[in-house]
Amino acid sequence: MSTELLDFRPAAPPRVVRVALQATAAAPEGPLAPCPRCGSKGVNVHQRDWRTVKDPHAARVLVLRYLCKRCGHVRRAYPAGLGPSRQSAALRQLSVLLYWIGLSYQAVRAVLLDLGCPLSTTSIRRNVVAAQQRLHGQPPLSRLRLAPAGAGVLAGPDGRLVVRLVGHPASGRYLEVEVGDAGHAAELHWRLTTCARWLGQHTP
């Protein structure tokens, strides 16, 4: 995926931008793939484990362990949007997107805390580095001069943003960013939509 910047800033961009986040299910769904060891489709539920996770909405999810009837191989099935890591895919998306649009690691941490999903600056940095490695380079955006100015609010010389989450974790949820300063709307809208494309997300 190319990180080339397309310098297109609409003259009258919308003041509110929504970026889709990956869904997070509460339990595994859908058919189970055949056993990776022997190819059998016959399994028994070996264990049910309620796991505490880090996600903007889900506090815990159900992880199932299956035992292959033929060869005895044990494997785990995770809910959509989750894997072995405690962080959900949506939380990783959030942390990377907020950093890429120009916030500092500390500002990202403050926003995530306001959204109810605290994450350390070390974890945020790891998420960003992993995302940039997948893109084979660092998105060349300068840091915005914005600092926390209230619950979900960032403000400074580069404008004002109000950040919130909307929707439902299983059926569709979005990071909603409202640009509070009309003078900076074009620049901030361009950053949001550009970074969303880098993450493979869409902005309805």
* More reliable by pLDDT, 149 or 187: 149
Q: What is the domain range of residue 50?
A: 26-85
CA distances, 164 to each of 27, 50, 126, 148 (Å): 25, 28, 23, 13
Same domain, 62 and 96: no
Q: For the chain, give percent helix, strand, coil, nearest 5.
A: 25, 25, 45
The domain boundary residue, chosen from 50, 65, 85 = 85
- State how far the Cα of 120 lies from the Cα of 104, in Å rounded to an integer: 13
pLDDT(1) > 50 = no
pLDDT(129) > 80 = yes
- Structural domain total, the chain: 2
DSSP letters of 112-173? HHHTT----HHHHHHHHHHHHHHTTS----PPP--EE-STTEEEETTEEEEEEEEEETTTEE
Same domain, 107 and 122: yes
Looking at the domain assignment, is residue 59 inside a domain?
Answer: yes
Residues in the chain: 204
- Tokens for 172? 């569709």
Same domain, 167 and 107: yes
pLDDT(123) > 90 = yes
The domain boundary residue, chosen from 47, 64, 85 = 85
- State how far the Cα of 162 lies from the Cα of 189, in Å rounded to an integer: 13
* More reliable by pLDDT, 131 or 69: 69
- State how far the Cα of 188 lies from the Cα of 160, in Å rounded to an integer: 9
What is the pTM assigned to this prediction? 0.79
Same domain, 99 and 192: yes
pLDDT(8) > 60 = no
Binned at pLDDT 50, 70 and 90, residue 192 comes out as: confident
**What residues contact residue 201 under an 8 Å CB cut-off, 6+ apart?**
19, 20, 21, 93, 97
Q: How many CB atoms lie within 10 A of CB 129?
A: 11
Same domain, 150 and 73: no
Same domain, 175 and 148: yes
Same domain, 57 and 93: no
pLDDT(148) > 50 = yes
Same domain, 63 and 92: no
The tens digit of pLDDT for each residue in 149-162 reads 888 888 888 888 88
pLDDT(7) > 70 = no
The tens digit of pLDDT for each residue in 35-79 reads 999 999 999 999 999 999 999 888 899 999 999 999 999 999 999
Same domain, 46 and 105: no
Same domain, 180 and 140: yes
Torsion of CA 95, 96, 100, 101, to 10 degrees: -40
pLDDT score at 4: 44
Residue where the block lists tokens 């003259």: 11
Angle at 170 between CA 164 and CA 172, to 5 degrees: 50
